[in-house]
Amino acid sequence: MSKQIIRIGTRDSELATWQAKLVETELKILGFDAELVFVKSEGDLDLTTPLTEMGGKGVFTKALDDALLEGRIDLAVHSYKDLPTENPLPLKISAVMEREDPRDALVAPKGGAILKDEGIGAVVATSSNRRRAQWLHRYPNHEITNIRGNVNTRLRKVKENGWDGAIFAAAGLKRIGLDHHISQYLDWMVPAPAQGAMAVMIREDDDQMYKITSKLNHEQTAICTSIERELLNEMEAGCSAPVGAYAEIDGNQLHLAAVALTVDGKTQFDIELSSGVDESEGLGREAARKLLEMGAADIVSDLRS
C-alpha cells in the first residue's frame, strides 16, 4: 500500500460522491490509499438560474479545476459531459471510466400516457437545450419548463410541481439506485457527447498521478467519447448547445450518430457515419462539418448572438 493518500476532488451530490467513491475503490484495488475532498461548484450553489444563462462552460467544473491547480486535491472526478471540449489550463484527462447507460430517460409520476398521444398537451421539465429541442421536435404541443438541482432534488420537484414528466440521464439514476423511477427510456433521443462516462482529471505535469490513474482508463469508452467531443469541439457549440452525439463500437467498426436542432425543435439536422475503429480519429470533425453545411451553422450562430 502506498504511503501517499491520493486526494480525490468531487462535488458533494449523491451522484458525484458515488462516482468519486468508484474511483477511490479502483485506486485501492491497485494498492493506493485515497480519500474524498468535497468541493462546491457554481452550479451547486446557484440552483435557480437556468444553466444556459450561466454560460454552460465550467459551471460544474471550475471549482474543481481551481482546487487541482492550487494543490488542494490530486485528481478530480467529473461527469465527462460537463467538461468543456477546450481547456486552456495546465490540466489533462488521464482516464475515462467505463460508460454506464448513455440514454436519456423519462420520469413521469403520472405514467407515460403523454408519450402515446402526440396531440395532447403536457409539461415536461429539463434544463438542457439538447433535450428541450429534441423533445419539442417530437412533441411540439408540449411545454418545457426549467428544472435545476441534483438528481434527488429534481425527482422531488417533479412530484411537488405536478409536472407530467422530467428528462434525466439514465446513467445517473442507475448509479445511485433510482432507476425504478424511469417510466421509459428515450431510445430516439441522441444523448449529449460523453453522457454516461466519467473522466479523471489531473495536473498536466503530474507524471506520477498519470502513471497511477491511467490504469483506470477504459479504451472503448475513451475512443467513443473522444469522437463525440471532437464533433462538439469542431462545431464550436459548447456543452449547452442543442447538439447530440453518440458513438458505439461494433466489432471493428465505429458508428456515430449526431443531431443538431434549433432550441424550439422546429428544425433538426441528422447524420450517421461509420468507419473502422483504427481509422475513426477525425470522424467527429467530419460529421460536424457535414452538419454545419446542412444548416447547423445558423444554429450555432444564433446561440452565440
Q: In this predicted structure, what is the pLDDT of residue 115?
A: 78
Rounded CA-CA distance 63/39 in Å is 7
Place of cell 436519456: 104
Indicate whether 222 belongs to any domain. no
Strand intervals (E) in 119-222: 123-125, 143-145, 165-169, 184-186, 198-203
C-alpha cell at 190: 441522441
> Are 296 and 171 spatial neighbours (Cβ–Cβ below 8 Å)?
no
Catalytic, out of 82, 101, 104, 206: 82
Q: In this predicted structure, what is the pLDDT of residue 280?
A: 97
Q: State whether 181 and 202 are in the same domain.
A: no
State yes or no: is 164 an active-site residue.
Answer: no
CATH number, domain of 291, equals 3.30.160.40
* String of DSSP letters for 11-46: --SHHHHHHHHHHHHHHHHTT-EEEEEE---HHHH-
Indicate whether 27 belongs to any domain. yes
Q: State whether 95 and 118 are in the same domain.
A: no
Q: State whether 203 and 57 are in the same domain.
A: yes
Q: State whether 70 and 114 are in the same domain.
A: no
Q: State whether 75 and 109 are in the same domain.
A: no
Residue 51 sits in which domain range?
Answer: 5-99+197-217
CATH number, domain of 17, equals 3.40.190.10
Residues of the chain with pLDDT under 70: 1-3, 42-59, 117-119, 239, 305
Task: Work out how many domains the chain is built from and give that number.
Answer: 3
Q: State whether 10 and 82 are in the same domain.
A: yes
Rounded CA-CA distance 291/305 in Å is 19
Q: Which residues contact 113 (CB under 8 A, 6 or more apart)?
A: none
C-alpha cell at 130: 439538447
Indicate whether 192 belongs to any domain. no
Q: What is the DSSP letter of 292?
A: I
C-alpha cell at 209: 498521478
Q: State whether 25 and 156 are in the same domain.
A: no
Q: State whether 161 and 204 are in the same domain.
A: no
Indicate whether 226 belongs to any domain. no
- In 162-218, alpha helices (H): 170-175, 207-213
Indicate whether 23 belongs to any domain. yes
Q: In this predicted structure, what is the pLDDT of residue 304?
A: 74
Q: In this predicted structure, what is the pLDDT of residue 1?
A: 42
> Taking the CB of residue 296, how many other CB atoms lie within 10 A of it?
27
Q: What is the pLDDT of residues 152-186, one digit of tens each?
A: 999 999 999 999 999 999 999 999 999 999 999 99
Indicate whether 133 belongs to any domain. yes
Indicate whether 138 belongs to any domain. yes
Q: State whether 119 and 174 are in the same domain.
A: yes
C-alpha cell at 169: 440521464
Q: State whether 73 and 24 are in the same domain.
A: yes
Q: State whether 92 and 115 are in the same domain.
A: no
Q: State whether 265 and 292 are in the same domain.
A: yes
Q: In this predicted structure, what is the pLDDT of residue 2?
A: 45
Indicate whether 166 belongs to any domain. yes
